[in-house]
Amino acid sequence: MPTNGHRPARNADTQRLIPALADLPRPLYARAESLSAGSWTPTHRHDWVQFSYAISGVLGVHTEQGSFFAPPQWGVWIPAGLDHEVVTSTRAEMRSLYVRAQDSQWAPNRCRVLEVTPLARELIKTFCLLPADYPEHDSHQSRLVNVLLDQLASLPEVGFSLPLPRHARLLALCNELVDDPGQAITLTEWASRLNMSEKTLMRLFQRETGLSFRGWRQRARLLASLNALEEGESVTRTALNCGYDSTSAFIAAFKGLFGFTPGELFRN
């Protein structure tokens, strides 16, 4: 799996255990966790869909295709059979739903970040209180499950992912920028290091990531800012550390991606 600078240092004391489930007891299974700062899982996969939702803290899900981040009130949809890691740099309250693959065939077979609506949030909260072996047929619990599955199918997708290129030398440069989002490396410098023209690099970047160089770098910087802001770092210091010359430019870019200013996002 590609190196990614958003991953916290590995500490054996904060490794999370992966549930030893051979199969899900019901179509929908819940797991509630309070995670310490630096929590992580080794790379793993399972035969069911996982939807991990952050009540507080920022979840990071890393795959070979890229990284996906869920600030508070968003969640990451992880399809069945996909190798992934789940990490948190700060303390976090996580609610995970495991969905049988046959009960989620309506979903695209790719990792996505979804906005958790107020109705879905209340349904998840209620479902997490049910026993794992809730009555599966003709009960208020089974009807709740059906409504929750319908809500999951309709949650809006948001662009909180950071796609990674497969081109080896381009990936190395991307990881360098992820490790140090504040560096002011230019497209001209990247092209020189890769021994290609700027126009060729722009086409390669677009083809490999689906984003322009400028768009990818901005997204990398904004995603890197989430953990610092969650830990209480000031907006001004965070903006400067992420390569922005002014706080106002950072706030405008932040709101353009997340739909909220930094203060609004973490206050909500």
Domains defined along the chain, listed by start:
12-158 (2.60.120.280), 165-267 (1.10.10.60)
User: Cα(48)–Cα(36) distance, rounded to whole angstroms?
Assistant: 25
Q: How confident is the model at residue 70 (pLDDT cuts 50, 70, 90)?
A: very high
* 160 phi/psi in degrees, rounded to 5: -100, 30
CB 132 within 8 A of CB 25: yes
Angle (CA) 235-240-242 rounded to 5° is 95
Q: How many residues does the chain have?
A: 268
> Counting Cβ atoms within 10 Å, is residue 121 exposed (0-12), middle (13-18) or buried (19+)?
middle
Structure tokens at 32: 């509630």
Residue 4 has what pLDDT? 42
Q: How confident is the model at residue 3 (pLDDT cuts 50, 70, 90)?
A: very low
Residue 10 has what pLDDT? 63
CB 242 within 8 A of CB 25: no
CB 86 within 8 A of CB 111: no
Q: List beta partners, residue 44.
A: 84
Residue 16 has what pLDDT? 76
Q: Using DSSP, how many helices (H) and how many strands (E) does the chain show?
A: 9, 10
Structure confidence by residue, pLDDT tens digits, 181-221: 888 888 899 899 899 999 999 999 999 999 999 999 999 99
Structure confidence by residue, pLDDT tens digits, 75-111: 999 999 999 999 888 888 899 999 998 888 888 889 9
User: Cα(239)–Cα(244) distance, rounded to whole angstroms?
Assistant: 5
Residue 5 scores a pLDDT above 60: no
Residue 12 has what pLDDT? 66
Structure confidence by residue, pLDDT tens digits, 125-180: 999 999 999 998 889 999 999 999 999 999 999 988 999 999 998 999 898 888 88
The string over 1-31, giving b where at least 16 C-beta atoms fall within 10 Å of a residue's C-beta and e elsewhere, is ebebebbbeeeeebebeeeeeeebebbbbbe
Q: Where are the beta strands (DSSP E) in 16-91?
A: 28-35, 48-56, 59-62, 66-70, 74-78, 85-88
